[in-house]
Amino acid sequence: MEDKRLFKIRNKWFNFFVHKAYIYDANKKKIATVKDKWFNTKGEYFVLGYKDEIKIQGNFFGLTSQILKNGEVVGTISRQVAIIADSFEFEANEEDMPFLVALVIAIDNITDKKYKK
């Protein structure tokens, strides 16, 4: 907003079994680590190091996922699959919308790297 950088998302370079991405604030301070599980059959992602407990459940590679903050649903991610490029629709009633958008981008980066897209 207003040409101000709010967040920066970086992928972990080497991922063997657990894939990670990092979210940094505008001051280049790491505020969260987003990761999946070794055997991620449910398509869950976890956010570590953030001030609240955040979990993404549902199949992100599928069509819908939910973002839970401290056990409560705060957002829904819908994926529209297309031939050229996928797109996302994100719904949330949350004051921390910029962080949640950064979270969706981090998860997309993880899935792209995981499936080598």
Q: Give tens-digit pLDDT for 22-48.
A: 999 999 999 999 988 766 666 678 899
Q: Is residue 35 part of a domain?
A: yes
Q: Is residue 105 part of a domain?
A: yes
pLDDT per residue over 55-89, tens digit each?
Answer: 888 766 667 888 889 999 998 888 777 777 777 78
Q: Burial, 6: exposed, middle or buried (Cβ in 10 Å; 0-12, 13-18, 19+)?
A: exposed
Q: Is residue 44 part of a domain?
A: yes
Task: Please tell me the distance from the alpha carbon of residue 70 to that of residue 2, in angstroms, as a whole number.
Answer: 30
Triad 77, 79, 80: Cα angle to 5°:
145
Number of domains in the chain: 1
Which pTM was predicted? 0.79
The structure tokens listed for 60 are 């992100």
pLDDT at 1 > cutoff 60: no
Contacts of 91 (CB under 8 A, 6+ apart): 75, 76, 78
DSSP-based three-state secondary structure for 92: strand
Residue where the block lists tokens 């549902």: 58
Query: Which of 1, 80, 96 is closest to 47 using CA atoms?
Result: 96
Q: Is residue 2 part of a domain?
A: no
Q: How many residues does the chain have?
A: 117
Domain that holds residue 102: 7-114
Q: What is the pLDDT of residue 5?
A: 83
Task: Please tell me the distance from the alpha carbon of residue 45 to that of residue 67, in angstroms, as a whole number.
Answer: 9
Contacts of 71 (CB under 8 A, 6+ apart): 53
Q: Is residue 1 part of a domain?
A: no
The structure tokens listed for 3 are 């040409």
Q: Is residue 55 part of a domain?
A: yes
Q: Is residue 84 part of a domain?
A: yes
Q: Is residue 21 part of a domain?
A: yes
Q: What is the pLDDT of residue 4?
A: 83
